[in-house]
Structure 1
Amino acid sequence: MDKDSAISSDLEETLQGHRRGGDSSGTLVVSDQEGYVGDSITFKGRNLPANERFEIKWKTTDGRWGVLKANEVVGAQYHPRTETVATVTTDGSGAFDEEWTVAQDYGGEHRIEVVDGDSTVATATFTILPHFELDRTEAPLGDFFTITGHGIGPNVVTNNYQVAWDNGNVGFMTGVMNRGTATARIRAVGPPGKHTLQVWRNYRGVPYLQNNTQSPYGPVADGRQSQWTVEVTEPEVEPRTAWLDDQLDENPISIHYPEIDEETDAELSISPSSGQPGTSAFITGENFPANEEVDLIWYRHEGHRVKGIPITPEPKPDMLPTVTTDDNGTFQTEFTIPQGEGSTRPITAAVEGREIAVTGFMMQPSIETFSPTSGPVGTTIEIELSGVGWPVYENAPYFLYDNKPLGYVCGLTDNDGGGVVRLELPASGQPGWHFIDAYPCIFEMQEDEPDFELRPHLSYLDNHPIRPLPAYHMAFKIEE
């Protein structure tokens, strides 16, 4: 047996890997070292085996909010993710050129690998720079400008950007979800004429004013525009005085259900599964005992986190009817969703005092009162909201007046007014229309940085934890 034939198959495989693989066996160069989402770049492979097929791998992350029990927000969480972005074949000299468009992804440095099976044969890096786009530079009074951020985060400094209107801090936007892309809508407030809109950056949640002059992280958008002069025009029709963003169909969160006394074949369902107070809904029961009375029980969540009182689902008798099943053990009854705290409202069904089935209704917020809608300076504006949720990410809508932060309200849960928020504001400003907006915020978060707590979350549309919450929008006219 000669020496070569005595080499074990494992060793031969290892040697073959060294002949063909390893980070130093080939060369990968990217046409640009850094750029923006949407840019076209070219991967240039050289010094590779001729006429062979390789995959190009893109190393990045996945982001989500860490949330415990669909209630307690831990913070932004990121995990490694690898994608195959191209498959290439080298030419006779072991080279390839592959053009690629930078996909929607998080900002920062990304490793690129040329892979042959399990072997990485060449590597390079490319840095995605954050940038922001404004949908228009002119909007009628009361409408919105939309800012879209690309290449945000996940670095603790670069996943929190603040938006300012006329040098006033409106709120923050973040790209925790949606691979570093975030959307924020900023109200076009008066007086009509020219205004400034600007994006800042700071992990503490407030603008760091040296971003573009002395920041160690460089300008906000690394050379692209982050400040705009916009025009607010007179509206052709009067603004709406009280409305919410469109709300999606939702399902209740079962972790917020109470424990029932006994597991049986009985089934309870509700249609629709989500809506505002006042919604007409049908409760249907199946597989219950035949010709039996069934007590339907509505649950509230009661407690107070600031006082240290745990928030738990508690029964509220006499809010729902008692029904009788038919010969097949089924029933259906119609009722009107009452006012109450938002998020999951559990409903149980009890037979002879024992709860044997549970379902839930996802309570969505509503503007119950906004009055009056006009008057002189100093007029007291009365606002009543209902369906404000008890989890921390929906418990504290943050109010702005003409894009200026005013403060937050809370959907209290330690009294019978849980989920119903009442407040009074004095009308202020010059004659004409003024705008009140209440955005979702994160009341409490376990991680300290970035500081997302108790600030208007402007990117709530595509980056808020757990639920697609709406914002509240109102308008008041100052009369002379």
Structure 2
Amino acid sequence: MASAPAATAPLAGPRSVEPARPLSVEPVSGFVGDKFRVSVGGLPAGAAVDWQWVTLHGTYETQVSGHDVLFMQRRYKEQRRSLGRSTADGRGSVEATLTAPEDYGEVHDLYAVVDGSDVARGGYRIVRRATISPSDGPIGTPITVEVTGLAWRAFESTMALRYDNAYTGFVSAVTTSGAARFRVRAAGPAGRHVLQLTAASPGVPFLNNQQSGTAHIDNMDLRLPFTVTADAGPPAASTEWPSADRLAAVGRDGVPSAHVAAGISATLHPTSGDVGAEFSLAATGLPPSSGVQVVWKRAGEDEAAVPKVFREAGAVLVKATTTQEGSLVVPLRAAGERGGWHMVTVMVEGSVRAEIPFYVRRSLQDLSPRRVRSGEQFTIELKGGGWTELDKGVAVTYDNSYIGYACSVTSGGDITIHLVATGEPGTHLVDLYPMLYRHPGDHPAEYWNFELPQLTALDDHPGLALGYQLPIFRLAVEVTD
């Protein structure tokens, strides 16, 4: 039997030339968490065998400049991880029972490694599957959808969700090892509804997968029933954010860093907030009894829809004087309406002494009216829209049907959306999801559509590694006769 691996950290690369021995694997496919048996003979008696699983590390490639952040493509780097260790018997034979790890779907190589060399090779195929919870509830009930076994290749790595045949958005698992967990809400009327996860080449439903190059992949059409039990009235508006654990897990190499002159310490508290949020600057090591300007660096004037025209401008937040010891503590307020990363710059006699990043989050300002006649207009207003491909837009669904997107690039960060109430009298849901915007210019070929709701954005958005905290807004209106 295999012992538990000492660690789950990735292992180094190839150990040797292709091994001559086949590794017996039975069964050869299954779901995440399933058991399977491996065996091989012809090894040295008592050899220590490490069962090494070939996996991938998925990331998003972005290109950061002074005026934009471009989404370029998905990247996967091959790695190995140990599934356990065993010892060969006196005849040089070994067998073990292993567990299929949470990993990307489809075939993974599996090696028996002895003394750093690959001595046998087999494979195991992870099959995708999905579950929902709960399976019934009133309109507005959060439905958690969990998918495992999404693959990594083009045309295999995304799925599309439809709710009663209406396209809701796409599901990705690039940085989550093929596992996706997301929520939608139960839309009416009362009765039986069907959530359908289907093949999605770039992100939209692909309706004849059985005639395609991915027809061999199991479970490319998963149907998950849900029963709406009642209309209990519109649920309160809510906002869902990426978790702190998830932001930390994806790495933060792309997050802007502070730049502070030697001998100076400068910090902000807190380091993020909504438009107009209050925060404070504390600094030490500045010249004593000196005049200080604290400047807010933000996106400049809007001259066209293409972000490359943005220029960095500065708004003076406060003028102050340091103490005799060279310290400074001042209250500040996030300026403007544009979201994303900004820099708070500390200047003494025209010289920059410190720059500290501050993140302005999106926020819901208004939804009105919340009770509206069918065919009449209601309005949603957000502040904190950004200017990059990652954070300039929101994708909107009405009763889980994608209806379009809205953008903040020419409105200074304000997003005002006018919608028309439709449907039978009762509760109707409006959800605003993060998305990616595709600017003109040089991008690698990428099998992914844009301006679409990314249902898995809280766990798998390309902006997470750069510290972008992009929420999902959950809203509702009551439609009357």
Do they superpose with TM above 0.5? yes
Q: Partner of 1:14 in structure 2?
A: none
For residues 19 and 205 of structure 2, the distance between their equivalents in structure 1, rounded to whole angstroms, comes to 42
Quote how far apart the aligned CAs of 1:233 are: 2.1
Please show how residues 316-331 of structure 1 align to structure 2 within 5 Å. Answer: 316-317=315-316, 320-331=317-328
CA contact (8 A) 1:66 1:74 kept: yes
Residue identity matched to 1:34? S
CA contact (8 A) 1:114 1:120 kept: yes
Deviations 1:91-144 (A, max 9, x none): 122222211110111112111111112322111111112222222221321122
The change in CA–CA distance for 1:49 and 1:27 in structure 2 (over 3 A counts) is farther
For residues 77 and 272 of structure 2, the distance between their equivalents in structure 1, rounded to whole angstroms, comes to 32
Q: Partner of 2:199 in structure 1?
A: 201
CA contact (8 A) 2:338 2:386 kept: yes
For residues 404 and 236 of structure 1, the distance between their equivalents in structure 2, rounded to whole angstroms, comes to 21
Q: Partner of 2:429 in structure 1?
A: 435
Quote how far apart the aligned CAs of 1:399 are: 0.8
Match of 1:174 among 168, 172, 175: 172
Q: Partner of 1:110 in structure 2?
A: 108
The change in CA–CA distance for 1:365 and 1:183 in structure 2 (over 3 A counts) is same
Match of 2:438 among 444, 448, 457: 444
Quote how far apart the aligned CAs of 1:323 are: 1.2
Residue identity matched to 1:92? G
The change in CA–CA distance for 1:219 and 1:57 in structure 2 (over 3 A counts) is closer
CA contact (8 A) 1:22 1:119 kept: no
Q: Partner of 2:399 in structure 1?
A: 402
Quote how far apart the aligned CAs of 1:253 are: 8.7
Quote how far apart the aligned CAs of 1:333 are: 1.3
For residues 219 and 202 of structure 2, the distance between their equivalents in structure 1, rounded to whole angstroms, comes to 23
The change in CA–CA distance for 1:201 and 1:179 in structure 2 (over 3 A counts) is same
Residue identity matched to 1:103? P
The change in CA–CA distance for 1:312 and 1:125 in structure 2 (over 3 A counts) is farther
CA contact (8 A) 2:338 2:412 kept: yes
SS at 1:462's partner residue?
helix
CA contact (8 A) 1:69 1:255 kept: no
Larger Rg: 1
Q: Partner of 2:59 in structure 1?
A: 64
Please show how residues 71-150 of structure 1 align to structure 2 within 5 Å. Answer: 71-150=69-148
For residues 382 and 460 of structure 1, the distance between their equivalents in structure 2, rounded to whole angstroms, comes to 24
SS at 2:391's partner residue?
coil
- Corresponding position: 1:351 with 2:348: yes
Quote how far apart the aligned CAs of 1:408 are: 0.9
Q: Partner of 1:388 in structure 2?
A: 385
Q: Partner of 1:286 in structure 2?
A: 284
Match of 2:37 among 25, 38, 42: 42
For residues 117 and 59 of structure 1, the distance between their equivalents in structure 2, rounded to whole angstroms, comes to 18
- Corresponding position: 1:368 with 2:362: no
CA contact (8 A) 1:266 1:287 kept: yes
CA contact (8 A) 2:234 2:428 kept: no
Residue identity matched to 1:69? V
For residues 396 and 386 of structure 1, the distance between their equivalents in structure 2, rounded to whole angstroms, comes to 11
The change in CA–CA distance for 1:133 and 1:278 in structure 2 (over 3 A counts) is same
Quote how far apart the aligned CAs of 1:264 are: 4.5
Residue identity matched to 2:431? D
Deviations 1:339-389 (A, max 9, x none): 421111211111122222111211111001111100211232122101112
CA contact (8 A) 1:253 1:344 kept: no
SS at 1:461's partner residue?
helix
Deviations 1:178-237 (A, max 9, x none): 1111122122111121111101113132212123x44442376x2597102211122556
Q: Partner of 1:479 in structure 2?
A: 480
Q: Partner of 2:228 in structure 1?
A: 232
Higher mean displacement: 265-274 or 361-370: 265-274
Residue identity matched to 1:466? G
For residues 38 and 435 of structure 1, the distance between their equivalents in structure 2, rounded to whole angstroms, comes to 36
**TM-score, length-scaled by structure 1:** 0.87
SS at 1:178's partner residue?
coil
The change in CA–CA distance for 1:224 and 1:354 in structure 2 (over 3 A counts) is closer
The change in CA–CA distance for 1:164 and 1:178 in structure 2 (over 3 A counts) is same
For residues 407 and 474 of structure 1, the distance between their equivalents in structure 2, rounded to whole angstroms, comes to 16
CA contact (8 A) 2:144 2:184 kept: yes
For residues 94 and 159 of structure 1, the distance between their equivalents in structure 2, rounded to whole angstroms, comes to 40
SS at 1:309's partner residue?
helix
Q: Partner of 1:13 in structure 2?
A: none
CA contact (8 A) 1:381 1:424 kept: yes
Deviations 1:37-71 (A, max 9, x none): 11111111223222221111111211011112282
- Corresponding position: 1:425 with 2:423: no
Q: How many correspondences in the alignment?
A: 451
Q: Partner of 1:32 in structure 2?
A: 27
For residues 390 and 256 of structure 1, the distance between their equivalents in structure 2, rounded to whole angstroms, comes to 16
For residues 94 and 254 of structure 2, the distance between their equivalents in structure 1, rounded to whole angstroms, comes to 53
- Corresponding position: 1:268 with 2:262: no
CA contact (8 A) 1:160 1:450 kept: no
CA contact (8 A) 1:342 1:362 kept: yes
Which ranges in structure 1 are unaligned for 5 or more consecutive residues?
1-16
- Corresponding position: 1:313 with 2:312: yes
For residues 45 and 312 of structure 1, the distance between their equivalents in structure 2, rounded to whole angstroms, comes to 64
Deviations 1:23-44 (A, max 9, x none): 22x4420011222211111111
The change in CA–CA distance for 1:257 and 1:464 in structure 2 (over 3 A counts) is same
Q: Partner of 2:50 in structure 1?
A: 55
Match of 1:453 among 447, 450, 454: 450
Quote how far apart the aligned CAs of 1:304 are: 6.7
The change in CA–CA distance for 1:22 and 1:292 in structure 2 (over 3 A counts) is closer
Quote how far apart the aligned CAs of 1:390 are: 2.1
**TM-score, length-scaled by structure 2:** 0.87
Deviations 1:295-354 (A, max 9, x none): 11112123578436344432123xx11111111111111133344211112111111222
The change in CA–CA distance for 1:271 and 1:95 in structure 2 (over 3 A counts) is same
CA contact (8 A) 1:111 1:123 kept: yes
Please show how residues 293-304 of structure 1 align to structure 2 within 5 Å. Answer: 293-302=291-300
